[in-house]
């Protein structure tokens, strides 16, 4: 942990692969666990819990989460992990299965302790240089941008790159991603993410208790949950609902409290705004940011309306277009009593 405090804001990487073979089968899910662990070792995190279904595998990490689909990897890590060091190893592992990369997306919020970040995460500029140097030239449609907000401490950093073949395929399944970052958590609510000393529980059983006690299990009733409680505090969970994942991570310490909720949505399921509202209610944050990637304007507007129903006020709404990712909308909210710009 940094001397200053734990960096809750995650770095998130999504890698999409394709194959010239007509039959991909379970694709990347064939990767042996040892090879995946070696990549995680370079990033500086480990697997603490795992759960899969017929669509994908999910791993709770010592620092956030990893999801492996047949042709997609999503990995988010917090603290002082070196996430971008996984780019080349994952691309290499995929080539052993005849899979080549067609899209890459890297996103993150604004670090609370930027000075504690190691190379290549010392600045967004350095991250972009590292990515440019470590991705194949086939990913030729590239764009890096920082989407601002009215809150100087909250902006959304996006790097996206796509190959020629991505172009007709930006959003093949009408899926979109919602990334919610919350700070200044309600102190009564975030106490629930501290373990009781000598409670006789392990990380799994204490995690299960937190999931139920906080109402996280009621955010999506269809979801199967894999959860873990850290000692003396902190919590992570992955939810799996068919081919859709969700994930929550909590850093409850006073002074740098942070929680995140991320979920993949489908235009055929109208439950996203409601899930975001329920997740925000679990934490009672002073500040919330919501980044949606490839969602319709209508979905973003509905999320805004439902978050405002629980006493938050939307302070900014910004958007940008990315050739390989589609539209990214970044909204920020504060409690009405907490209007600081």
Ligand X SMILES: C[S@+](CC[C@H](N)C(=O)[O-])C[C@H]1O[C@@H](n2cnc3c(N)ncnc32)[C@H](O)[C@@H]1O
Q: To the nearest whole angstrom, how small is the minimum distance from the Cβ of residue 79 to ligand X?
A: 6
Total residues at the site for ligand X (CB under 6 A)?
20
Should residue 260 be labelled a site residue for ligand X when binding is judged by CB under 6 A? yes
Nearer to ligand X, 172 or 255 (CB): 255
Site string for ligand X, 219-248 (x = CB under 6 A): -----------x--xx-x------------
The yes or no reply on residue 179 touching ligand X (CB under 6 A) is no
Residue 198: Cβ within 10 Å count: 6
- Contact between 184 and ligand X by CB under 6 A: the answer reads no
List helix spans (H) across 256-308: 272-283, 297-308
Angle between helical axes of 124-134 and 87-95 (0-180°, round to 10): 20
Residue 10 DSSP code: P
14 is catalytic: no
14 is a contact residue toward ligand X (CB under 6 A): no
Q: Is 262 a catalytic residue?
A: no
Rule CB under 6 A: which of 306-335 touch ligand X?
none
Least separation, in Å, of the C-beta of 173 and ligand X?
27
Sequence-distant (6+) residues with CB within 8 A of 333 are 287, 288, 289, 290, 307, 308, 312, 313, 314, 315
Contact string (CB under 6 A) for ligand X, positions 108-147, x = contact: ----------------------------------------
- Residues whose CB is less than 8 angstroms from the CB of residue 234 and which lie 6 or more positions away in sequence, other chains included: 6, 193, 250, 251, 252
Min dist. Cβ of residue 130 to ligand X (A): 21
Please say if 266 is a catalytic residue. Answer: no
**Residue whose C-alpha is closest to residue 9's, from 176, 177, 179:** 179
Decide if 186 contacts 340 (C-beta within 8 A): no
The residue within the footprint of ligand X, chosen from 87, 210, 250, 300 (CB under 6 A), is 250
Catalytic (active site) residue 179: no
Active site residue 64: yes
In this structure, the chain runs to a length of 341
Count Cβ atoms below 10 Å from residue 319 Cβ, excluding itself: 13
Cα–Cα distance, 58 to 247 (Å, whole number) = 10
Give me the residues that bind ligand X (CB under 6 A), please.
Answer: 6, 8, 10, 62-64, 78-79, 230, 233-234, 236, 249-253, 258-260
- Active site members: 7, 10, 64, 78, 236, 249
């Amino acid at each position: 942990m940094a001397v200053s405090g734990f960096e809750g804001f995650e770095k998130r990487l999504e890698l999409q692969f394709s194959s010239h073979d007509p039959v991909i089968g379970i694709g990347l899910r064939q990767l042996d666990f040892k090879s995946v662990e070696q990549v995680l070792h370079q990033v500086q995190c480990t697997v603490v819990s795992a759960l899969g279904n017929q669509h994908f595998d999910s791993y709770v990490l010592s620092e956030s989460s990893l999801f492996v689909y047949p042709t997609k990897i999503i990995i988010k890590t917090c603290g002082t992990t070196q996430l971008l060091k996984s780019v080349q190893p994952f691309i290499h592992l995929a080539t052993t299965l005849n899979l080549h990369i067609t899209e890459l997306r890297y996103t993150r919020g604004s670090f609370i302790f930027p000075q504690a970040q190691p190379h290549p995460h010392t600045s967004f500029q350095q991250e972009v240089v590292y990515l440019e140097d470590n991705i194949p030239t086939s990913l030729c449609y590239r764009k890096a941008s920082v989407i601002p907000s009215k809150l100087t401490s909250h902006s959304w950093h996006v790097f996206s790159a796509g190959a020629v073949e991505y172009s007709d395929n930006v959003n093949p399944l009408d899926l979109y991603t919602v990334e919610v970052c919350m700070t200044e958590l309600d102190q009564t609510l975030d106490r629930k993410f501290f373990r009781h000393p000598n409670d006789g529980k392990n990380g799994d059983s204490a995690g299960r208790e937190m999931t139920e006690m906080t109402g996280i299990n009621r955010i999506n009733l269809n979801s199967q949950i894999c959860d873990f409680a850290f000692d003396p505090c902190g919590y992570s969970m992955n939810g799996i609902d068919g081919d859709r994942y969700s994930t929550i991570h909590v850093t409850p310490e006073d002074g740098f409290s942070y929680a995140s909720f991320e979920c993949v949505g489908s235009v055929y399921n109208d439950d996203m705004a409601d899930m975001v509202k329920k997740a925000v209610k679990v934490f009672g944050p002073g500040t919330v940011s919501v980044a949606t990637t490839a969602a319709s304007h209508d979905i973003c507007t509905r999320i805004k309306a439902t978050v405002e129903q629980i006493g938050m006020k939307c302070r900014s709404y910004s958007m940008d277009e990315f050739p390989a990712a589609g539209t990214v909308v970044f909204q920020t909210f504060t409690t009405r009593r907490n209007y600081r710009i």
